[in-house]
Amino acid sequence: MDKLKVLAVLLVSLVLAGCASSKSGDVYSRDQTRREMIVRTGVVESVREVTMEGTQSGAGTLAGAAVGGVAGSTVGGGKGQIVGAIIGAVLGGMAGTAIEENATKKNALEITVSLDNGTLIAVVQEMGEFFHPGERVRVLSGSGSTRVTH
């Protein structure tokens, strides 16, 4: 059973490592670098803390199903082992999905900005920089994303 625990820890670690990516205003993906971005300026109207939902890539489901299937197969003998493995895989998959989603949730900010041209926009990004109403900011858009920076 100790080998099963080690396997479970390794699989969950791989899932979490594979799902880690930042959506804060001060982190750029490789695809966003060396690309032109449109810069607009404005004033922060409001800032609200929100939660970005976690990922559901399927990796948590697969890892959970594998661990659950192995654990379930240790129950009973003969056909009981098969039934145990199937039930364990289903329950493990469900648990793996929930673990992945909860482990990858992020605290974020919804920043409402009144642009200098009069347009009012809202941008949600992972917490990093803090913003205050009345503060002048830059809004960068390009490569399919928008971020607010100082």
Confidence of residue 16 (pLDDT cuts 50, 70, 90): very low
Q: What is the pLDDT of residues 55-105, one digit of tens each?
A: 667 666 777 777 777 777 777 777 777 777 777 777 777 777 667 766 778
Domain edges within the chain: 2-149
Residues 6+ apart with CB under 8 A from 120: 45, 112, 113, 114
CA–CA distance from 32 to each of 17, 21, 55, 141, 142 (Å)? Answer: 21, 14, 20, 10, 8
Q: What is the pLDDT of residues 95-140, one digit of tens each?
A: 776 677 667 788 999 999 999 999 999 999 998 899 999 999 999 9
Q: What HEC string does 27-71 produce?
A: CCCHHHCCCCCEEEEEEEEEEEEEEECCCCCCHHHHHHHHHHHHH
CA–CA distance from 56 to each of 28, 105, 146 (Å)? Answer: 22, 10, 23
CA 145 to chain centre: 16
